[in-house]
């Protein structure tokens, strides 16, 4: 049974980010696949001085940014930070004015600029987070890692 023509397309978004040192030179990468057509797109980039968590977030932002219309996105990442942020932490941060509890005090959310960008992009799509184990022989995750490492190596 086929879906109606108006149903948003299903895409698989594989992402990874990493650094040489943390902070240090960093890279991000994504592989975006359209299972129905077999088409794939991969991109990567880097920064001279950043953190691993920022690169993990940047990979997802870059991947979602290339989508031209509302889509069902299955996000595959080895980043627990991104996964928990999307599924558990972000709703609380937003409700608390992008602040989080640090002991008995309120503190700004780390990487708030990227989380806000991600929040805007996620609102445009139906995103499902799926965790994959890093460096475990998962072909697309391994490809993202390879691209991200290559992206930061130019800064070493």
The CA distance from 33 to 43, in Å, is 12
Task: Give the SS3 label for residue 70.
Answer: coil
Q: How many residues does the chain have?
A: 156
Q: What is the pLDDT of residues 83-137, one digit of tens each?
A: 999 999 999 999 999 999 999 999 999 999 999 999 999 999 999 999 998 777 8
Q: Choose the catalytic residue: 16, 47, 62, 140.
A: 16
CATH number for the domain running over 10-153 = 3.30.420.10
Q: How confident is the model at residue 1 (pLDDT cuts 50, 70, 90)?
A: very low
Q: Choose the catalytic residue: 85, 142, 145, 146.
A: 145
Q: Is 125 a catalytic site residue?
A: no
Q: Is 113 a catalytic site residue?
A: no
Which residues is 128 bridged to in the sheet? Answer: 74
Q: Is 56 a catalytic site residue?
A: yes
Q: Is 21 a catalytic site residue?
A: no
pTM, to two decimals: 0.93
Q: Is 119 a catalytic site residue?
A: no
| Per-domain boundaries in the chain | 10-153
To which H or E segment does residue 75 belong? strand 72-77
DSSP state of 10: E
Q: Choose the catalytic residue: 47, 56, 62, 140.
A: 56
């Amino acid at each position: 049974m086929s879906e109606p023509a108006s149903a948003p397309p299903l895409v698989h978004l594989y992402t990874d980010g990493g650094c040489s040192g943390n902070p240090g030179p960093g890279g991000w990468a994504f592989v975006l696949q359209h299972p129905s057509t077999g088409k794939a797109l991969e991109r990567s980039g880097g920064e001279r001085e950043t953190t691993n968590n920022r690169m993990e977030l940047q990979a997802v932002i870059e991947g979602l940014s290339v989508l031209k219309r509302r889509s069902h996105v299955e996000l595959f990442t080895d980043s627990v930070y991104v996964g928990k942020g999307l599924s558990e932490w972000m709703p609380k941060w937003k409700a608390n004015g992008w602040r989080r509890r640090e002991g008995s005090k309120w503190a700004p959310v780390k990487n708030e600029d990227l989380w806000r960008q991600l929040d805007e992009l996620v609102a445009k799509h139906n995103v499902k987070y799926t965790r994959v184990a890093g460096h475990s022989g998962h072909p697309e995750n391994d490809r993202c890692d390879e691209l991200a490492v290559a992206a930061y190596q130019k800064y070493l």
